[in-house]
Structure 1
């Protein structure tokens, strides 16, 4: 049997394109959303401040009493303080009201003489 010599080149490219397409779909369906969730969690954990009501990954509710570089001190009951690592905070339930910083502008203008 004789095979046509001109038609064999395009057939070997199809499996490579299918594998590349599969990796592309996996990236956009699995890897990117996971990276976004991780980035959002890190942002939430870095924005923790005293007064925030939070839930830990274990399901414990508490109020942030102090924040350190790596740890968060929670008040889980009146007078009961517990210390957790920042990544152990799953979500913020209620964010404490933070006073807005208002910059005072001083004017160096001369007084107006009447």
Structure 2
């Protein structure tokens, strides 16, 4: 049986230095900080700033994909007008992006026009 398994022989020598063994874990922590933690903190800070600067009349996109115009802003909630006579109340933290002025009107017209053109092409076939 000794033919297949070699005997382990104790080797004399110095044990590995403590600092050398810590280089890899420390390098891994530094890499995680710069690739994962720091960018996430930066995004969270930008989102907090965006939420604090919300004002009446801003056109926003929510995390749920709803586009509307802010009609009233409170401490933690905002009223969002989707169309004439239809308002919803949402948490300010649910706002994902502030859109340029006029995005609601222009975006809907373009989407409807593109849809009508596709419907006409299908009807011709």
TM-score range with shorter-chain normalisation? 0.7 to 0.9
For structure 1, which runs of at least 5 residues remain unmatched after alignment? 97-114
Q: Residues 57-114 of structure 1: CA distance to partner in whole angstroms, max 9, x if unpaired?
A: 0000000001000101000001111100011111101269xxxxxxxxxxxxxxxxxx
> In the TM superposition, what is the alpha-carbon distance from 1:54 to its structure 2 partner?
0.1
How many residue pairs match? The answer is 93
Q: Which secondary structure state, in structure 2, belongs to the residue aligned with residue 16 of structure 1?
A: helix
Which has the bigger relative contact order, CA under 8 A and spacing at least 6? 1
TM-score by structure 1 length? 0.74
**Runs of 4+ that moved beyond 4 A:** none
**Which among 41, 59, 63 is matched to residue 69 of structure 2?**
63
Q: Which has the higher helix share?
A: 2
Does residue 1:76 correspond to 2:82, yes or no? yes
After superposition, the Cα gap between the structure-2 partners of 1:59 and 1:2, relative to the gap in structure 1 and judged at 3 Å, is closer
Does residue 1:21 correspond to 2:30, yes or no? no
For structure 2, which runs of at least 5 residues remain unmatched after alignment? 1-9, 103-125
Partner Cα separation in structure 1 for residue 42 and residue 23 of structure 2: 27
